Amino acid sequence: MAKKSKTTSENEALQRQSRKEILIARKNERQLRNIRIAVITVAALIILVIGIAVVNELFLTPARAVATVGDTEISLRDWEARVRFERAQRIIFLENQLNSFGGDVGIIQQFAGNIINELFDPESMGQDALNTMANEVVMCQALQDRGIEITDADIQKQIGLAYAFYGEGVSPTQQPEPTATIQPTPSLTPIPTAVITDIVPTETAFPTPTAGPTGTPFPTATPVSEQEFQDQFGEFMTQLDDLGVDESTYRSVVRAQLCSERLAEVLTDELPISRVAPQASLFVISADTEESANEVAALVDSEGFLTTWNTIISRPDDPEATELPATNAFELLWRTQSNLQQSGLGSEVAAAAFELPVNEPSNIIAVDNGDDTTTYYLIMVSGREDRELSASDFQTRQSEELQGFIDEQLAGNLQINDLWRNRVPTLPALDPKFLAAPTPTPEVPQVLPTVAP
């Protein structure tokens, strides 16, 4: 009996221990299951957040509008692509120039320093690209409203023209031969620096008069074959692709150029844009200091403007050979007011040229050059009348009218989202070689001549 009781007790103990282990195992299993659920839940949340971020970054945000022109939106994606194109074409230009100048970085920094600076001012480039794209929306929409369409064939033809490809077997249209242009001469005969008093007879025949200038035809582009065009265009596309720009962006830029050209032609007839404008001819005396300007003004009062102007322009090249103040004199023939302003004389001089009575000298006109220097002018208008504009001046007028039309259309219709300010692309980046210090020019030691004893 005792043995049986002992065996029963051991069995009960084992059963109790097994139930305890089972309970512990079940508890551990529940805990592990909860941990797994928590881990899976957290991982799912993380994946969801990452997925939302990826979708937002790759699909939603790029589709957001950085600017709206009327009912047309400019997406962040298109604007970023345009900025990358602007950067790429500048980099390609710099690389081509560097190859042309034999790798001399100093020359590039001297003559293309502004382009290098633009690449290091991404915000300004981004703003310029945004403004340009807004203008392009207006121009292309204006053409569409007039039933004028820019087709893919038009774009392809424009690209071909840029490479002198006019179609297989087609030559470029010959530019009309220009009329002869006579070089303008001063209205007064310069005072000679030497006077001949004796006439020496000679048997030498008088020289044959030189014929007047003949019109020089515009250079004609040498047409290239289709294969040459494809090779050159393919090389350019490869350069853009290497810099992260696709062909569709380039074609959109060409399309915008066509919109600009055709709208300018349309506005020329609609407005219309006159080919005639008021123009003035004038004598100009300039001085770098107020003291010199005052001296010239005193001479004008005592001797007259034309005499003073003619004396200055006829003086010897050696400044020490004359007591005249440090001034310059020149004549401008038939210029529009905008042309005078753009020539560097300033808006004050340009306005005076169309306000002063003819043949009446002006007072001293001080013009701020914007670089902490001032130039002082005295002018006298010799003629003013309505004249036909030159080709370049007419194109300038077309551009002014086109920009005025664009500004009018944008007024109250342009909304800009500052989202772009934190998204301005800085790629493609300029190669650091363009920032290297230029190699200094070696000094050549001066060899003194040997003096014989």
Asked whether 334 and 281 are in contact (CB, 8 A), the reply is yes
Would you give the end-to-end CA distance of the chain in angstroms? 149
Asked whether 336 and 278 are in contact (CB, 8 A), the reply is yes
- In this structure, what token pair is assigned to residue 177? 């031969």
Are 158 and 43 members of one domain? no
Provide the sign of the torsion angle of the four alpha carbons 428, 55, 417, 413, taken in this order: positive
Question: Does residue 216 form part of some domain?
Answer: no
Question: Does residue 334 form part of some domain?
Answer: yes
In the chain, the number of structural domains is 3
Are 232 and 312 members of one domain? no
Are 369 and 416 members of one domain? no
Residues 6+ positions from 289 with CB-CB distance below 8 Å: 326, 376
Are 141 and 290 members of one domain? no
Are 132 and 263 members of one domain? yes
Are 21 and 133 members of one domain? no
Are 295 and 379 members of one domain? yes
Are 16 and 163 members of one domain? no
**Burial of 381: CB neighbours in 10 Å, binned 0-12, 13-18, 19+:** buried
DSSP state of 169: T
The boundaries of the domain holding residue 80 are 72-170+224-273+400-431
Are 262 and 409 members of one domain? yes
HSE of 109, CA atoms in CB hemisphere, 13 A: 12
Asked whether 394 and 275 are in contact (CB, 8 A), the reply is yes
Question: Does residue 83 form part of some domain?
Answer: yes
Give the CATH number, domain containing residue 288: 3.10.50.40
Per-residue pLDDT of the chain (453 residues), as tens digits, is 555 565 666 666 666 667 777 778 777 888 888 888 988 888 888 888 887 777 766 666 777 999 999 999 999 999 999 999 999 999 999 999 999 998 899 999 999 999 999 999 999 999 999 999 999 999 999 999 999 999 999 999 999 999 988 876 555 544 444 444 334 444 444 444 333 333 333 333 333 333 333 334 445 567 888 899 999 999 999 999 999 999 999 999 999 999 999 999 999 999 989 999 999 999 999 999 999 999 999 999 999 999 999 999 887 665 554 555 678 999 999 999 988 988 888 899 999 999 999 999 999 999 998 888 999 999 999 999 999 998 988 998 999 999 999 999 999 999 999 989 999 999 999 999 998 876 655 555 555 555 454
- In this structure, what token pair is assigned to residue 219? 């250079």
